[in-house]
Chain A
Amino acid sequence: MRALLIDITKCVGCGACVAACCQQNGLPVEDSAELGPHHYTVVRKVRTRRGEAYYRRLCMHCLDPACASVCPVGALRKTSQGPVVYNPSICMGCRYCLQACPFDVPRYEWDSLAPKLGKCSFCAERLAQGGVTACAEACPTGATMCGERDELLKEARARIAAEPGKYLPRIYGEHEVGGTSVLYISHVPFSALGLPENLPLDPLPAYTHRALSQIPPLAGTASLILAGLWWLTNRKHEVARRESGRTEREGLR
């Protein structure tokens, strides 16, 4: 499984990744402070108590993505190589993916009459050909690295261990919502980088699965009970009808 390691301490905010991303995806190159339907990644400066840093956002490519689990038609799916990819031709535009994403990543072409979702595709075609993502290739400082997830985790741990004073002692994305394919290490708090700090460690689809998996047994039991109830009350009625018929006849006699 491929992943990206983003080392915020190494980012100089040159924006080469953004330009490479736009070029790769045929998007207009414009400055944007936030993700948008045509801005799959952004870089911008943030000031925090622990100093300045460059905020870089993109789709986290969760290991068990909420967006793919909620899509009623499976227009979003996680490939075996790691990317979470989108197929607009079958999308109904229900936007449950936007609602479900814990990182608020997917963006929508609100003004289009055939709106599509806009988000990073992890350069799925490049990965399939054995390459790395456009952003990782373009990064001059090695702040974005593309590789196998296990190895990048090892690398991240090694960097944190080598300079414990510099890094916060945590790899963001290692465990959040069951783990993500984009990993961050940083010297400033992750919340300043737009990464939510209130996420559970379980994959979010598990929350839904607990309810959905109860349905088949419940529906089966309910049909049996209803059939039984119908039989009971029906019989009661029939007995009552026969009884009343008999008393009527007896009364006539």
Chain B
Amino acid sequence: MTRLRMLFWRWVALAILAAGAYATIVRFTKGLGGATNLSDQMPWGLWIGFDVLCGVGLAAGGFTITMAVYILHLEKLRPIVRPAVLTAFLGYLLVIVALIYDLGRPWNIWRPTVMWNPRSVMFEVAWCVMLYTTVLAVEFSPLLFDRLGWRRASQRARAAMVPLAVAGFILSTMHQSSLGSLYLIVPTKLHPLWYSPLLPWLFWFSAVGAGLAMVIFESGMSARAFGRALEIDVLEKLGRAMAVLLGVFWFLRLWDLGHRGHLGAAFQFSGPQAFYAAMFWLEALLMLGPAALALSDRIRLHPQRLFALACTVVAGFLLHRLNVSTTALAAGSRYFPSWMEVAVTLMLVTLGIAAFRFAVLHLAVFGPSPRVRQFPEVKPALARYA
């Protein structure tokens, strides 16, 4: 049975990689027009909306956990620092790869380092992503150094963890919020249920909340794939923090809508606006529902239930970001990603999972010992390709 499942997933992964490779060839021989459904009215699609906005947001667990352990000394969370940093590091690398696909002139990607326009949110995001990816690389490096037996390098990198955690927090806070600020300049194009002067704050709270959900999700997946016990006593704490952060996100959002007199748009259940109201409440259901349930001990302390809550929150978060970046834009109804856009996105996710699995099998991601080869016979499902 497990063999069959394994075989199935291996074929799925291969199919995705093949489709992604074909889409890559089309993208770099026929241009963005040949591979995507982007247009002058919808210049940003799935690659920005999902790969960048969601990818960066879901990697927020990295800086959150790092800060909790190195700055706040919440020792209990220490076992999950390394997987969280690894996830974030891989996430940011994939964001950069996605940008190379999405940028029309990717050979100029380095230009913001010398051509400065501090008025541009994109400029700030570019710098923060560049610097924070470097921070993540250094935070991740001891795992590699230990494996290679470079003890001095490993010690040096470890000694820098506290300042790195501070830098990581500042840089992440800046660009996580700035991803929301990207949309401040389109007040006339973004639907009022999503446009808000508070977008930077909303993006920060949703990223940290969903970033924690992602850590829970990823711990659950690894537990299954690598046959490890779930650290429920640690994860339930994240579940509680996630509930609080999502609560703040929705409080701010609803308060702001009320304050600016747009709350009515959420109750227009007839006419062309009904779709937006429905989307809005679906987001609320997917994020606030799990947040409320996570307050109950019976649910939060139960591994499967907590895992289900985390998955729901991640889904709600993806919906919110995709709504901001595509559906809720005035021209959004004219855009649906091409299959090649979807293929590239799926390929990047698959490569991320494969890289994560490779790192877990060869580096001490989950254990104190640098020799992780002694993992027991790896368990089913995603394991082989994941």
Do A and B pair up? The answer is yes
Assess whether B166 is interfacial by the CB under 8 Å rule.
Answer: yes
Assess whether A164 is interfacial by the CB under 8 Å rule.
Answer: no
Contacts of A91 on B, CB cut-off 8 Å?
A: 104-105, 108
Q: How far apart sit A196 and B188, CA to CA, in the bound complex (Å)?
A: 9
Contacts of B174 on A, CB cut-off 8 Å?
A: 215, 219
Assess whether B185 is interfacial by the CB under 8 Å rule.
Answer: yes
Closest approach, in angstroms, between the C-beta of A224 and any C-beta of chain B? 10
Assess whether B117 is interfacial by the CB under 8 Å rule.
Answer: yes
Contact of A229 among B43, B71, B105 (CB under 8 A): B71
Closest approach, in angstroms, between the C-beta of A89 and any C-beta of chain B? 8
B40 touches A102 (CB 8 A): no
Contacts of B32 on A, CB cut-off 8 Å?
A: 110, 115
Contacts of B70 on A, CB cut-off 8 Å?
A: 230
B185 touches A204 (CB 8 A): yes
Q: How far apart sit A198 and B41, CA to CA, in the bound complex (Å)?
A: 17
A74 touches B166 (CB 8 A): no
Residue of A70, A110, A209, A218 contacting most chain B CB atoms (<10 Å): A110
Contacts of B106 on A, CB cut-off 8 Å?
A: 92-93
Q: How far apart sit A115 and B43, CA to CA, in the bound complex (Å)?
A: 13
Q: How far apart sit A234 and B162, CA to CA, in the bound complex (Å)?
A: 11
Interface magnitude class on chain A: 35 or more
Contact bitstring A99-125, B, C-beta under 8 A = 1, else 0 = 110101011111111110000000000
Contacts of A229 on B, CB cut-off 8 Å?
A: 71-72
Q: How far apart sit A1 and B188, CA to CA, in the bound complex (Å)?
A: 27
Contacts of A71 on B, CB cut-off 8 Å?
A: 117, 120, 122
Q: How far apart sit A90 and B28, CA to CA, in the bound complex (Å)?
A: 20
Contacts of B340 on A, CB cut-off 8 Å?
A: none
B43 touches A230 (CB 8 A): no
Assess whether B126 is interfacial by the CB under 8 Å rule.
Answer: yes
A223 touches B170 (CB 8 A): yes
A106 in contact with B71 given A72-B120, A90-B111 (CB within 8 Å): no
Closest approach, in angstroms, between the C-beta of A190 and any C-beta of chain B? 14
Contact bitstring B99-142, A, C-beta under 8 A = 1, else 0 = 00011111011011001111111111010000000000000000
Contacts of B73 on A, CB cut-off 8 Å?
A: 233-234, 236-237
Interface of chain B residues 84 through 110 with chain A (CB within 8 A) = 102-106, 108-109
A212 in contact with B119 given A66-B185, A227-B166 (CB within 8 Å): yes
B111 touches A73 (CB 8 A): yes
A111 touches B34 (CB 8 A): yes
Question: Which residue of the partner chain B has the closest CB to A230?
Answer: B71
Interface of chain A residues 190 through 205 with chain B (CB within 8 A) = 196, 198-200, 204-205
B31 touches A99 (CB 8 A): no
Q: How far apart sit A208 and B349, CA to CA, in the bound complex (Å)?
A: 32
Closest approach, in angstroms, between the C-beta of B104 and any C-beta of chain A? 2
Q: How far apart sit A105 and B356, CA to CA, in the bound complex (Å)?
A: 43
B124 touches A112 (CB 8 A): no
Chain B: interface residue total (CB-CB under 8 A): 57
B117 touches A212 (CB 8 A): no
Closest approach, in angstroms, between the C-beta of A115 and any C-beta of chain B? 4
Assess whether B200 is interfacial by the CB under 8 Å rule.
Answer: yes
Contacts of A222 on B, CB cut-off 8 Å?
A: 169-170, 173
Assess whether B345 is interfacial by the CB under 8 Å rule.
Answer: no
A230 in contact with B166 given A108-B40, A199-B188 (CB within 8 Å): yes
Residue of A73, A95, A100 contacting most chain B CB atoms (<10 Å): A73
Interface of chain A residues 57 through 76 with chain B (CB within 8 A) = 66, 69-75
Contacts of A108 on B, CB cut-off 8 Å?
A: 40, 43, 104
B40 touches A98 (CB 8 A): yes
Residue of B39, B41, B71 contacting most chain A CB atoms (<10 Å): B71
Assess whether B346 is interfacial by the CB under 8 Å rule.
Answer: no
Closest approach, in angstroms, between the C-beta of B101 and any C-beta of chain A? 11
Contact of B33 among A99, A106, A111, A218 (CB under 8 A): A111
Contacts of B120 on A, CB cut-off 8 Å?
A: 69-72, 74, 96
A residues apposed to B, CB below 8 Å: 66, 69-75, 90-96, 98-100, 102, 104, 106-115, 196, 198-200, 204-205, 207-212, 215, 218-219, 222-223, 226-227, 229-230, 233-234, 236-237
Other than A73-B108, A226-B170, A236-B73, give 13 A-B pairs with Cβ distance below 8 A.
Answer: A72-B111, A74-B120, A92-B109, A95-B44, A100-B185, A107-B40, A112-B104, A196-B188, A207-B185, A207-B187, A222-B170, A226-B169, A227-B166
Selected A-B contacts with CB under 8 Å, 28 pairs: A66-B185, A69-B185, A72-B112, A72-B122, A92-B105, A93-B105, A96-B43, A96-B122, A99-B43, A99-B44, A100-B185, A100-B186, A109-B31, A111-B30, A111-B34, A113-B31, A114-B105, A115-B31, A205-B119, A205-B185, A208-B184, A209-B119, A211-B177, A211-B199, A212-B119, A223-B170, A226-B166, A237-B73
B residues apposed to A, CB below 8 Å: 28-34, 38-41, 43-44, 67, 70-73, 102-106, 108-109, 111-112, 115-124, 126, 162, 166, 169-170, 173-174, 177-178, 181-182, 184-189, 197, 199-200
